[in-house]
């Protein structure tokens, strides 16, 4: 399968059409961005690491009965996946308070939440991906009805129930993560985009060290080394 025309270019991926209307190819790039694109950098090899990590986690979820868009890993930087209608909601799952949750609500950083918190952000770069409640999502026609919002929450918690113990078993706390969903050609809501240290927060269970994009956000450095460590642990 070969890519043809560029369909979409995001902050860290380029999505291409293929000769099959049902399939697309995503190219994972080495671009790093933070703070709504205000901070930018290129980290050589980051794209390949995210592609490999995402591919493995999508396969894990597929095997556990969670439908994803993943078809196969083509090469280091390219993934073949289903062509889906993107739902313009970012679904955020939080297990431990940090980042914006700590800043906005004053919850002490590192507080383990009593249950997995699921939030919705509007997938809109120009507006800065604002927080939404159910009524906002319905007013904006981001979903067809409230039932679809319930499906997104249920799927997000199901994914968390699979990934949280998986990562704990390899010495990582799954602090929080962002999910994106879309509708396949049959109208099923399935997981799309990626699962990587770009959109997940991982803390080492022993040291508390951050092994994700926070290293870039906070200027700690060692981004590629951290991503390599996550992949190493996933692969065993």
- pLDDT (tens digit, 9 = 90+) per residue, 189-223? 999 999 999 999 999 999 999 999 999 999 999 99
Angle at 24 between CA 160 and CA 74, to 5 degrees: 80
Count structural domains, the chain. Answer: 2
Full 3-state SS string of 188-223 = CEEEECCCCCCCEEEEECCCCCECCCHHHHCCCCCH
3-state DSSP helix/strand/coil percent for the chain, to nearest 5? 30, 35, 35
> SS3 of 83, please?
coil
Do residues 89 and 63 both lie within one domain? Answer: no
pLDDT at position 80, please?
Answer: 98
Q: What is the pLDDT of residues 10-65, one digit of tens each?
A: 999 999 999 999 999 999 999 999 887 789 999 999 999 999 999 999 999 999 99
Asked whether 84 and 52 are in contact (CB, 8 A), the reply is no
pLDDT for the residue numbered 2: 87
Q: Which of 82, 112, 137 is the last residue of a domain?
A: 82
Q: What is the pLDDT of residue 74?
A: 96
Average pLDDT value for the chain: 96
CATH number at residue 171: 3.30.470.20
- Domain CATH code at residue 7: 3.30.200.20
Domain stops at, among 67, 82, 97? 82
């Amino acid at each position: 399968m070969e890519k043809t025309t560029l369909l979409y270019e995001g902050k860290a991926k380029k999505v291409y059409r293929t000769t099959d209307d049902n399939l697309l190819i995503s190219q994972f790039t080495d671009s790093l961005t933070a703070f709504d694109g205000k901070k930018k950098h290129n980290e050589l090899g980051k794209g390949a690491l995210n592609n490999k990590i995402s591919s493995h986690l999508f396969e894990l979820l597929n095997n556990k009965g969670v439908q994803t868009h993943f078809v196969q890993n083509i090469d280091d930087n390219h993934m073949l996946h289903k062509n889906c209608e993107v739902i313009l909601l970012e679904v955020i799952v939080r297990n431990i308070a940090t980042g914006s949750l700590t800043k906005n609500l004053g919850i002490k950083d590192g507080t383990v939440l009593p249950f997995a918190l699921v939030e919705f952000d509007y997938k809109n770069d120009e507006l800065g991906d604002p927080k939404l409640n159910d009524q906002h999502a319905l007013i904006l026609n981001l979903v067809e009805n409230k039932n679809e919002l319930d499906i997104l929450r249920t799927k997000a918690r199901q994914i968390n129930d699979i990934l949280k113990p998986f990562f704990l078993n390899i010495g990582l706390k799954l602090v929080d993560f962002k999910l994106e969903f879309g509708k396949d050609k049959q109208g099923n809501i399935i997981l799309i985009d990626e699962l990587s240290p770009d959109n997940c927060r991982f803390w080492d269970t022993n040291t508390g060290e951050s092994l994700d994009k926070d290293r870039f956000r906070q200027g700690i450095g060692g981004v590629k080394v951290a991503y390599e460590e996550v992949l190493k642990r996933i692969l065993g």
